[in-house]
Amino acid sequence: MARQTSILYLDGVSVSFDGFKALNDLSMVIEPGEMRAIIGPNGAGKTTMMDVITGKTRPDTGEIYFNGVVDLISEDEASIAELGVGRKFQKPTVFESHTVWDNLELALKAPRGPLATLFHVTSGDERSRIEELLTLIRLGDKRDELAANLSHGQKQWLEIGMLLAQDPKLLLVDEPAAGMTDAETAETAELLKDIAKTHSVVVVEHDMTFVRSLDVKVTVLHEGSVLAEGSLDHVSADERVVEVYLGR
């Protein structure tokens, strides 16, 4: 697929740490509105991939483009966030001593980047946006609860809501189902599917039941590059994937 029409485009991206290639000629294209699942054994380069997209790590070689035309390699971490790339780390970082509502309100008011402060959001708009987010993240009845009292899964949803408050175009989500109950995991898959209706989403995940329920194209990383790509059934049938990952 052409770079110009993609939301995220990586071509020949390599990163070495002390001579060790964490990413090795990694190429991948995500279409606008697509949700993609990234799987791979420990050390495959999944986190490093997120790091190079978000500007935390600078690749040694290769190209990374956002929205077809924006060269992310020439941007720093703050500008990449401001451009509309949101990242959800594995551990939830919500404001525990604030209510669910206040967490969302703070996220809505926080500048996504330096330019965001130029936009003015009226309080009426703000309230309806928070209501929308509460419904989406399944926390409507917890709006007045302190974030500290939420379950681990609910905290993850709240943080996803806080990220969405910043209106990213592309959402990178690192192991959202880790540490969740089975019911929360299933609900998280539904939540991400809802989000993917209006956003592009890249989700790194180890939980195969979760990946199966997402029902999206899967990219298998191994030793810093793409080993296989396609439906979960397609990649699961690949001998090399079974050997490095699924068979373990």
Residues near ligand ATP (CB under 6 A): 17, 22, 40, 42-48
User: At its nearest, how many Å lie between ligand ATP and the CB of residue 98?
Assistant: 30
What are the beta bridge partners of residue 39? 220
Pick the closest to residue 152 from 91, 104, 214 (CA basis).
91
Which CB atom, from 18 or from 141, has the smaller least distance to ligand ATP?
Answer: 18
Nearest distance in Å: CB 47, ligand ATP:
3
Q: Which of 152, 163, 108 is CA-nearest to residue 130?
A: 108
* CB closer to ligand ATP, 52 vs 158: 52
Edge-first strand listing for the sheet containing 170-174: 85-88, 170-174, 200-204, 35-39, 218-222, 225-230
- Looking only at the bridges linking them, the beta strands covering 85-88 and 35-39 are unpaired
**Cβ 222 to ligand ATP shortest distance, Å:** 9
State the nearest-atom distance from the C-beta of 186 to ligand ATP, in Å: 22
- The contacts of residue 64 (CB under 8 Å, 6+ apart) are 8, 9, 10, 11, 13, 52, 53, 71, 72, 73
Separation of alpha carbons 192 and 176, rounded Å: 10
Judged by CB, which is closer to ligand ATP: 15, or 214? 15
Q: Which is nearer to ligand ATP, 48 or 219 (CB)?
A: 48
Minimum CB separation of residue 17 from ligand ATP in Å reads 3
- For residue 69 the two structure tokens come to 């035309």
* 233 in Cβ contact with 66 (< 8 Å): no
Nearer to ligand ATP, 73 or 178 (CB): 178
Q: How far is the CB of 4 from ligand ATP (least distance, A)?
A: 28
Instruction: Name which of 46 and 155 has its Cβ closer to ligand ATP.
Output: 46
